């Protein structure tokens, strides 16, 4: 219904209101994907499922602007919302066959009292907040990249829209590969530490090469290295957080996702301060340094997977 409201909007304020409602509805699918996986799987199996979900989620922020821009050129902005409406109808029909994944004996009662209690219990769970914040730091870093990349690639390096799309698509695949390969480690902690170190090293190389070389290659290689490391961080930090919040998987998933997108939304405008290329590198470096400190100095030893 929110998508229909967007299609029928006659002012930007009404359109923004329905887009807000549309975002709330779309958030449910993201939260459910993690919570259902946590209900059904444990340990290494959960890590594999989360890695698959993270690979898709890592592709989405990069693939969506590209596909949306292409569709808008062909059928206009209303065509995008007609496609979204079709997807919404398909999801609504599919939800009719959806069944509760949590066994009855593990369910808590409905109501705000139980929800608030669940939030309180989750936030007190040792290791949940550090893992969630590590995820938020990784999301902040990728939003810095996404926000700055169009301006850097097309304006500074004078590449065409097609060339930009190819570079963006390649980097999406780099993230997905990192997410898939994250399950090859013997534990989620090792995967997370490896990804954090690699992403931090890549961001450091971006910052260093900014002062040493302005060539396209000096931009593309360290950025790909950073994104590859982020591909490891997304599923590993999410798995750790969801294991800690298993008792209230839905609430845990909402907190992880909420912190991530809040941090990403706050980080994106920061790249517009000063030189956009230097700002994107600097802020990515800062966020990944914060994530690295959280990972190495907070105790996850009780969550060995």
Of residues 66 and 260, more confidence is placed in 260
In a domain, 138, yes or no: yes
In a domain, 113, yes or no: no
Q: Give burial (CB, 10 Å; 0-12/13-18/19+) of 155.
A: exposed
pTM tops 0.95, yes or no: no
| Total domains present in the chain | 1
**76: containing domain:** 2-99+126-297
In a domain, 286, yes or no: yes
pLDDT tens, position by position, 224-271: 999 999 999 988 888 888 888 777 777 788 888 888 888 988 998 998
In a domain, 110, yes or no: no
pLDDT level of residue 101 (50, 70, 90 thresholds) = low
In a domain, 119, yes or no: no
* 166-to-39, 109, 117 alpha-carbon distances in Å: 38, 49, 47
* 6-to-20, 22, 81 alpha-carbon distances in Å: 10, 9, 7
* 203-to-141, 230, 269, 283 alpha-carbon distances in Å: 9, 11, 18, 9
In a domain, 264, yes or no: yes
Output the domain CATH number for residue 220. 1.20.1250.20
CB 182 within 8 A of CB 191: yes
In a domain, 17, yes or no: yes
Lowest mean pLDDT: which of 108-122, 131-145, 206-220? Answer: 108-122
């Amino acid at each position: 219904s929110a998508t229909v409201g967007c299609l029928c909007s006659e002012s930007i304020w009404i359109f923004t209101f329905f887009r807000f409602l549309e975002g709330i509805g779309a958030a449910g699918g993201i939260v459910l994907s993690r919570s259902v996986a946590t209900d059904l799987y444990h340990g290494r199996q959960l890590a594999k499922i989360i890695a698959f979900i993270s690979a898709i989620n890592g592709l989405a922020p990069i693939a969506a602007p590209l596909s949306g821009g292409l569709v808008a050129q062909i059928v206009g902005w209303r065509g995008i919302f007609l496609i979204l409406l079709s997807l919404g109808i398909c999801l609504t029909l599919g939800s009719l066959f959806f069944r509760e994944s949590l066994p009855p004996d593990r369910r808590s009662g409905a109501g705000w009292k139980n929800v608030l209690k669940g939030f309180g219990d989750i936030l007190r769970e040792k290791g949940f907040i550090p893992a969630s914040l590590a995820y938020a730091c990784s999301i902040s870093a990728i939003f810095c990249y996404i926000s700055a990349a169009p301006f850097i690639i097309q304006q500074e390096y004078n590449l065409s829209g097609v060339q930009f799309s190819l570079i963006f698509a390649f980097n999406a695949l780099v993230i997905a590969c990192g997410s898939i390969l994250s399950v090859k480690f013997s534990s989620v902690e090792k995967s997370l530490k490896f990804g954090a170190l690699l992403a931090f090293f890549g961001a450091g190389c971006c910052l260093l090469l900014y002062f040493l070389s302005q060539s396209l290659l000096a931009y593309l290689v360290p950025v790909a290295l950073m994104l590859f490391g982020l591909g490891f961080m997304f599923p590993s930090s999410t798995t750790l957080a969801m294991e800690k919040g298993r008792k209230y998987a839905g609430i845990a998933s909402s907190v992880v996702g909420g912190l991530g997108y809040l941090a990403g939304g706050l980080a994106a405008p920061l790249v517009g301060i000063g030189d956009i290329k230097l700002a994107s590198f600097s802020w990515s470096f800062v966020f990944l340094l914060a994530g690295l400190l959280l990972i190495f100095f907070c105790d996850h030893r009780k969550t060995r997977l």
